[in-house]
Amino acid sequence: MAEFRYIAIDRDGNKVSSSIEELDEGSALQALSRAGLYVLKIKKASSLKTVLKRSLFFKKISRKTLIEFSNNLSIMIRAGIPITEALRELTESAKEPFFRERLRAITSNIEMGASLSESLEPYKKLFPPIFLNLIKVGEETGRLDESLKEIAEHLKRVEELNAAIKRSMIYPAFAITATLGAMFFWLIYVLPKIMQVFKDLKITLPLTTKILMAISDLSRQYWFILPAGLVALLVLTRLLKIKEETKVILDRIALRLPVIKHIVYNKYLALFSEQMRILIVAGITIDRTFDMVIEVMDSIPFKRAIRRIKTQVLSGGSIADGIQVEKIFPPLIGRMIRVGETTGNMDEQLKFLSDFYLQRLDDISQKLSKMIEPIVIGLIGIMFAFIIVGLIGPIYEIISTLGKM
């Protein structure tokens, strides 16, 4: 998918400037035309500019806002309220100005004859892929209210998944930040004053103390390297993810890092199970289901495995057989899906798997502090042991000198 920047005129005669993601310029023009926009200018955004914009300036509608919007719109449509009236009401009550502005444009397009899915097309990068897909299915089947309700429930489960991941990372982030903060406070503020006393007394300094002084001087002179390095590392990681070859390496590293691999792996398994469940419940064909799941998964190894499973299923095989061949999936998923295929209750099996891996993430978040704590304590102990050793030598020398006087 490529990003295209455009300037267009909407059905009310207002000039609109935004962007859209499509396979090529022709597809982008068709999508904008379906949404009732007359395109004045369109061009493809550069890859570097797109990455930097998404990293630093890109706005996105929060998942909680989408959950509230989907649920309320579903209730209003089920109550018989016309969609344009429901959207106008939700637009006025929207808390986020950015979302309110988009809702006004979407409502305007629907009033001029476009469908909800067509009106959302120019803004599809603001929504999760499954959001637009289920709305299209709801319009095709005449059960838009049910699709919106399913979207709200699905996004709520994804929100719980992300909340579990955040909980698991809070303690490590706090511990690392506190440790680095304490270390730099000592090196930049406390140690220079102590070292100046040693210099004034002109005592012979041991090697450990000299190393400590050198580290302290470097920390004071080049303190800005650490924050600059973290920003550079973030940008570099984003740039490396542009090409599939380098992203594969980063994804494999994430699946092998101690502790982190448990969080990443269970996240993708929960996401895979939940995406398959909601799409199968919505009645989407198996080939479209796999395509949507592939689009959502952010891990290249998982994408490739699911693509191979899709090929095998379309060739006449079962989903369970395809999954059991792929080593990236645990045996449990293959067994549960096989039962689901045999009994016809695939959605229940996938819901069990989604809940199971979500619960594992919760367990990891609770145990992570106990796993990280010994490592952090050990690093702090080594750091301050080195500082203490560096200080004891000169202090002992001072005491010895005073004792001889």
Instruction: Kindly report, residue by residue over 158-177, the tens digit of the pLDDT.
Output: 888 777 777 767 777 777 78
Multiple choice CATH, 63-157, 3.30.200.20, 3.40.920.10, 3.50.50.60, 1.20.81.30: 1.20.81.30
C-alpha to C-alpha distance for 107 and 87, rounded to whole angstroms: 6
pLDDT band at 397 (very low <50, low <70, confident <90, very high): low
330 or 98: which leads in pLDDT: 330
Q: What is the pLDDT of residues 61-93, one digit of tens each?
A: 788 888 999 999 999 999 999 998 999 898 888
Residue 296 has pLDDT above 70, yes or no: yes
| In contact, 117 and 136? CB cutoff 8 Å | yes
The pair of structure tokens assigned to 157 is 């489960």
pLDDT of residue 401: 63
Count CA within 13 A, CB hemisphere, residue 164.
25
Please determine, looking at this structure, whether the domain spanning 170-405 carries the CATH number 1.20.81.30: yes
The residue among 213, 216, 230, 144 whose CA lies nearest residue 183 is 216
Delimiting residues of CATH 3.10.20 domain(s) in the chain: 2-56
C-alpha to C-alpha distance for 32 and 20, rounded to whole angstroms: 8
Delimiting residues of CATH 1.20.81.30 domain(s) in the chain: 63-157, 170-405
| Phi, psi angles (nearest 5°) of residue 395 | -65, -40
Mean pLDDT of 234-256: 77
Q: How, if at all, do strands 2-9 and 15-22 pair?
A: antiparallel
Mean pLDDT of 186-198: 77
Please determine, looking at this structure, whether the domain spanning 2-56 carries the CATH number 3.10.20: yes
* pTM for this entry: 0.65
pLDDT band at 387 (very low <50, low <70, confident <90, very high): confident
Helix or strand (DSSP H, E) at 18: strand 15-22
**Residue 141, number of CB atoms within 10 A of its CB:** 12
pLDDT of residue 46: 58
